[in-house]
Amino acid sequence: MLNNRGEFNLAVLNDYHFSQVFFVAGHLAIKMLIYLDQQEEIIKNSYDKSGHGQIGMKEENKNEQDDLDLICGGKEADIADSIDRLNYIRDKELI
């Protein structure tokens, strides 16, 4: 709250003002958690809809793709990394 000189005065703030701040902060945190859960679900659904990327490939290409997936983890590793990043944000940053 501002006093007559235009300075911020903390003595005027009371429990009502603090309760409003905590309500808004809690509401925003809940909205962010819901948003992160929705994004995680979208990532998982996009992986399920993609059919794991090997339908209709020639046998030679499948073997090469399998070898590459064994080395670098493939699409499953990318999705797991994305979900791990979302979980880190949810667990460490918001909570």
Higher pLDDT, 31 or 72: 31
pTM above 0.75, yes or no: no
% of the chain residues with pLDDT over 70: 57
pLDDT of 53 > 50? The answer is no
80: pLDDT strictly greater than 90? no
DSSP code of residue 56: T
Q: How far apart are CA 2 and CA 89, in angstroms?
A: 36
Which residues pair with residue 8 across a beta bridge?
2
**Residue pLDDT, tens place only, 7-38:** 666 667 788 888 999 999 999 989 988 998 89
Q: How many helices and strands (H and E) does the chain possess?
A: 3, 0
What is residue 28's predicted lDDT score, i.e. its pLDDT?
92
32 burial type by CB count under 10 A (0-12 exposed, 13-18 middle, 19+ buried): middle
